[in-house]
Copies of this chain bind each other. A is one copy, B any other.
Amino acid sequence: MPANVLYGQAGGVTAVINASAHGVIQGVRHHRDHFGRIYAAREGIIGALREDLVDLEREDAASLDALRHTPGGAFGACRYDLGPLESHKHQYERLMEVFAAHDIGYFFYNGGGGSMVTAEKVHVAAQQMGYPLTVMGIPKTIDNDLAGTDTSPGFGSAAKYVATSVREAALDVASMAESSTKVFIMEVMGRHAGWLAAAGGLAQGRPDDAPQIVLFAERAFHRRAFMDRVREIVERVGYCVVVASEGLRDADGQFLSVAESSHVEDWIQLGGVAPNLAEMVRRDLDLKVHWALPDYLQRAAAHIGSATDVEQAAAVGERAVELAVAGENGRMPVIRRESDEPYEWSVDSVDLARIADVETTVPEAFIREDGYHITEAARRYLAPLIRGEARPPFINGLPDYARLGMFPVERRLPPYEL
């Protein structure tokens, strides 16, 4: 009898991680003879440890298909790392017990760099412990900092949201700058890499269009040079729109978003690059400033998902299954770019060990020499990733997202404390 499949989600979720889940489910459907049942672990590896599994075979087809356009992690996604095999053997023994109890022969783990470390650990442990397990990683992260792949599913949709939002807010600012707000700052995610800030740069259609300034996590922030730039742009264009990486740091390497408590009880500076930059602009230039911090909105905005991104997310999920069918193990499907224009891509794969916990940042060639915007090379790279509009169905004016039954798989083992 063919072995069962376990799928799990981990790390910061995206608008398209469920499209990858759908890709895995589709892949398994295409190879019904090769696989037993398909289960999902709730909260990723946490559910695998706790034997908290749901049975996807019992979900109706329409709910599963709705995963393709539903943001967030439908099965729960954890921030939880396994310990080293040497010191935490009990964790791995428990995992293999759970896998054995439910005839799991395939483990698909959908996450970012940190989650691929977990996948690789499970892969190595199964081999060392003689448990027959095929482990596949499936890439995901809005940060686009995953190694070994041209882009990571999730980034394109967040990038499309950021570029669209900046373009729209800038029209608002431009219309009122004469007698109101002159500087607008939008903070975007990316603690270590400025990929989403770079994507904001795409909103600029002509030279003086917004955003006029992009601040990268990869470049030290120099207050006076920045202020000179803002002043010059406001004088020439009438207003200035800035997209800033949350990971922006000063020349000493200090994050601009660092929390600094005041002496007034219950009122402290809560971090956020945008509010801090805004206050500096007020002080140094005496200009009216507004700022926005979309936070989770930017990684959950399936209503303006990138069709390219959704397609790639599904493709890596489906390919993970194909690789398993082909007898591969310990690998992760990746996107390979064949050409920029027309944009062509294929799915390749790499060893999990090669990409686990390696971060990539925005390359020099993508940052304009003065450090304040993207280059043409960046545009060539970024533009195709946000192309195409993937839209969920709407009911009564609101997106209609998947509601799964989440049917629990009956437990066969004693409880386990994390």
Binding site for B on A (CB under 8 A): 9, 12-13, 15, 42-43, 46, 70-80, 160, 163-165, 167-169, 171-176, 178-180, 184, 186, 202-203, 260-264, 266-270, 272, 275-276, 278-280, 283, 290-297, 299-304, 306, 308, 383, 386-389, 391, 394, 396-399, 401
Asked if A283 and B300 sit within 8 Å, CB to CB, the answer is no
Asked if B46 and A397 sit within 8 Å, CB to CB, the answer is no
Identity of the chain B residue whose Cβ is nearest the Cβ of A173 in the assembled complex: B296
Q: Name the B residues within 8 Å of A306 (CB-CB).
A: 397
Contact pick for A176, options B71, B73, B74, B308, CB 8 Å:
B73
Asked if A168 and B71 sit within 8 Å, CB to CB, the answer is yes
The A contact surface, by secondary structure, is: mixed
CA distance A59 to B256 in the complex (A): 45
Identity of the chain B residue whose Cβ is nearest the Cβ of A271 in the assembled complex: B275
Given contacts A12-B176, A275-B270, contact A300 B169 (CB under 8 A): yes
Asked if B78 and A399 sit within 8 Å, CB to CB, the answer is no
Asked if A179 and B46 sit within 8 Å, CB to CB, the answer is yes
Nearest-Cβ distance from residue A41 to partner chain B, whole angstroms: 12
Contact pick for A169, options B174, B290, B295, CB 8 Å:
B295
Asked if B78 and A178 sit within 8 Å, CB to CB, the answer is yes
Q: Name the B residues within 8 Å of A75 (CB-CB).
A: 175
Asked if A296 and B290 sit within 8 Å, CB to CB, the answer is yes
Asked if A79 and B180 sit within 8 Å, CB to CB, the answer is yes
Asked if A175 and B261 sit within 8 Å, CB to CB, the answer is no
Identity of the chain B residue whose Cβ is nearest the Cβ of A306 in the assembled complex: B397
Nearest-Cβ distance from residue A404 to partner chain B, whole angstroms: 12
Contact pick for A46, options B178, B291, B401, CB 8 Å:
B178
Q: Can you offer 16 A-B residue contacts whose CB atoms are under 8 A? A: A43-B179, A46-B179, A72-B171, A76-B175, A165-B301, A168-B399, A171-B401, A184-B296, A203-B398, A262-B264, A269-B270, A270-B275, A270-B276, A291-B293, A292-B293, A386-B396
CA distance A164 to B396 in the complex (A): 11
Asked if B295 and A291 sit within 8 Å, CB to CB, the answer is yes
Asked if B269 and A267 sit within 8 Å, CB to CB, the answer is yes
Q: Name the B residues within 8 Å of A167 (CB-CB).
A: 398-399, 401
Interface centre among A13, A160, A167, A178 (most CB of B within 10 A): A178
Asked if B269 and A398 sit within 8 Å, CB to CB, the answer is no
CA distance A32 to B129 in the complex (A): 85
Among all A-B residue pairs, the 7 with the closest Cβ atoms: A262-B262, A72-B171, A73-B175, A386-B397, A292-B295, A168-B300, A260-B267
CA distance A332 to B174 in the complex (A): 27
Nearest-Cβ distance from residue A67 to partner chain B, whole angstroms: 11
Given contacts A179-B43, A272-B275, A280-B266, contact A171 B300 (CB under 8 A): yes
Q: Name the B residues within 8 Å of A389 (CB-CB).
A: 391, 394, 397
Q: Name the B residues within 8 Å of A295 (CB-CB).
A: 169, 290-292
Asked if A276 and B267 sit within 8 Å, CB to CB, the answer is yes
Nearest-Cβ distance from residue A65 to partner chain B, whole angstroms: 17
CA distance A295 to B70 in the complex (A): 25
Contact pick for A278, options B46, B77, B270, B308, CB 8 Å:
B270
Asked if A71 and B172 sit within 8 Å, CB to CB, the answer is yes
Asked if A202 and B398 sit within 8 Å, CB to CB, the answer is yes
Identity of the chain B residue whose Cβ is nearest the Cβ of A394 in the assembled complex: B389
Contact pick for A164, options B15, B303, B383, B387, CB 8 Å:
B303
Contact pick for A175, options B9, B173, B280, B383, CB 8 Å:
B9
